[in-house]
Amino acid sequence: MRILIVDDEPAMHESYRQCFKTSQAEGSASALTAMAAELFGDDEPEQTSPSPDPADPAAFECAHFMQGLDAVAAVRDSILAGARYAVAFIDVRMPPGIDGKETARRIRALDPDINLVIVTGYSDFSPLDISRAAGPADKIFYIAKPFQAEEVVQTATALGNRWRVDGELEAARAALAEKVALLEEQALELAANESRAVHMANHDSLTDAPNRLAFLHALGGAVKGDACFAMAMMDLDRFKLVNDTLGHLAGDEMIRIVCDILQTRVPANGFVARLGGDEFGMLMPVTGEDEAVMLAERLLKAVSISFKVFGHSVHGGASVGLMVVPPGTVSDPIDVMRRADLALNEAKRQGRGMVRVFDESMDESIRFRRQIEGGLSGAIAKGELRLVYQPIVARDRLEVIGFEALVRWCSPEYGMVSPAMFIPIAEESNLIHELGDWVIDEAVKTLQTWPGQYVSVNFSPRQFRRHNFVGHVVERVTSAGVSPKRFQIEITETAIFDDVERAAETLFKLRQMGFRIALDDFGTGYSSLYNIRRFALDCLKIDRSFVDGMARERESAAIVHSIIHLGRALGMEVVAEGVETISQLQSLRLAGCSHLQGYYLARPMDAEAALTLAHAGFLADADAASEPQASSGTHG
């Protein structure tokens, strides 16, 4: 501990030397330390160490100066050398040269952390004068001449300890501030990366226009609104010829030109997206069909011109399918898009270069859907529905840890009806609740025969929004004597992100009751990392489209790896759906996916076969099994 002593009397310097001589009593160190603790309100430090105690005379390194200017210079040198003084004992009256007040002021200006001790028998200055010149007041202390040795050593010890602790605290604060600054920088970087990722996920890389995902989101908002709107789907005529004759770069340039024209010409509050290839989607507020047709024909005319593409003259042309949606008539955005696509196909079929408005004569399936809806209402009572169960297995040993319950309908009139057909029909009516209750009851009945696996049941967005959904599910499961821990609720991103606050509350209640929660088709919706963290989830299920595209598309492989890493970081299981080849199985295992499901491992099976497999507990090693013919299955 470095001590600075400034006094113009040689006798005083000798007195200071006597104070710090090693001949002092050996026990004085601990006593002085205790007095320092009492003085500054600190707990008495524990006796540890072989580290030097500032109260030990040998621990003090004293520097003596007769004049203030020399002391100020010494302080400056100590700062440059990185060996600062902890305490300065300063005499007030030091003729000739600067007095103690000025010396203290200059030292304080150089080193704001040093503790100053004013030592004097008589002073021309009041303590207030000195404090104003060399404050703050809590770093200025006073000793009257003549002084006792213990008084000097005690003061040096206490202030030395305080200087050391203040230094350590300042270093800790600086380190903490550095870490906070680093975290803030990382947070800004993460926010910027997420913003870029969101933009990339919702925009087309070629034109930077909104993509299909963004269009579906905007279309979903439009169908929920209370205003009439039109959806136009445009496809460029004979675009393949441009690619074949001028090359894909020219085709890309033409796509960009057409996109710019559409974005410029679309009416105010309109929306233009590139849906893929040479296909564009547009949303336009209209008052009715006549205005919609007029606007669509204007857009069609705007792109039916000759373009200059890399010096070549290319005549443009397009066909447009139009779907006009009065408020409250169609609630499914996918169905709106499907109808606009049917109108587009009709425009192409009739010779291209025209606008066609959808009408129900274009869609024979609408009549079929109505027939299906009528047949489905009696299917449950007639025993035409059944559940099949597809195993969910752990990655390493292919242990069967659960089954997903999938509904099938074998109609005497229509044969095997795909769940992709009848479930959306049920969703549009109240049949979905009756169907869902039947699925729960059948699933828990079968679950009771298994030794320990859970059953996973899909719930549609409409079921999830059902009044008292939590109480309804709890009552049906617990009344069957089944533990909620063995019942997994599968919901899609669309179901929970329609109303985030309500969904978070619902999922929290279900988790409190013990139910497992899985987010199905993860990666196809609009979730953000912030929302994912808010929800009480046990499992993320990777959509089969990404698994299928892993071997062909770097983007799909990157998405699969990202979901796996996200799930692991958040402590969730990750189930890859649609595993249909050995290469997919091996890639997912290497990527660290915790659970797998798909036709390559096991096809959906009836309750009896599921019971046998549940008791066996494991699948045969799928790596050694012959590969079955890949086939896509739709779960319900």
Instruction: Tell me which of 328, 362, 396 is where a domain ends.
Output: 362
217 and 326 together in one domain: yes
425 and 322 together in one domain: no
Task: State pTM to two decimals.
Answer: 0.48
pLDDT tens digits, one per residue of 86-130: 999 998 878 778 888 899 899 999 999 999 998 886 666 677 777
500 and 386 together in one domain: yes
Distance between CA atoms of 502 and 493, rounded to whole angstroms? 13
Q: Does residue 437 sit within a domain?
A: yes
374 and 351 together in one domain: no
342 and 399 together in one domain: no
Instruction: Tell me which of 115, 142, 171 is where a domain ends.
Output: 171
Residue whose structure tokens are 């009516």:
429
Provide the domain limits for residue 533.
366-607
Q: Does residue 193 sit within a domain?
A: no
229 within 8 A of 285, measured Cβ to Cβ: yes
Instruction: Tell me which of 171, 204, 223 is where a domain ends.
Output: 171
155 and 7 together in one domain: yes
Q: Does residue 206 sit within a domain?
A: no
Distance between CA atoms of 397 and 412, rounded to whole angstroms? 41
CATH number at residue 125: 3.40.50.2300
Low-confidence ranges of the chain (pLDDT < 50): 22-29, 44-52, 54-55, 57-58, 622-636
pLDDT at 634: 40
CATH number at residue 329: 3.30.70.270
393 and 281 together in one domain: no
Q: Does residue 115 sit within a domain?
A: yes
Distance between CA atoms of 133 and 337, rounded to whole angstroms? 80
Structure tokens at 98: 């600067």
616: nearest Cα among 299, 448, 400, 421:
400
299 and 315 together in one domain: yes
515 and 537 together in one domain: yes
Distance between CA atoms of 78 and 73, rounded to whole angstroms? 9
Q: Does residue 200 sit within a domain?
A: no
SS3 154: helix
218 and 344 together in one domain: yes
CATH number at residue 494: 3.20.20.450
Q: Does residue 393 sit within a domain?
A: yes
Distance between CA atoms of 582 and 67, rounded to whole angstroms? 88
Q: Does residue 198 sit within a domain?
A: no
208: nearest Cα among 269, 132, 263:
263
Burial call 30-61: b when 16+ CB within 10 Å, e when fewer: eebbebbeeeeeeeeeeeeeeeebbbbbebbe
Alpha helix ranges (H) inside 448-553? 461-464, 469-478, 493-497, 500-513, 529-534, 544-549
Number of domains in the chain: 3
Q: Does residue 197 sit within a domain?
A: no
pLDDT at 27: 44
246 and 110 together in one domain: no
pLDDT tens digits, one per residue of 55-76: 454 478 999 999 999 999 999 9
317 and 388 together in one domain: no
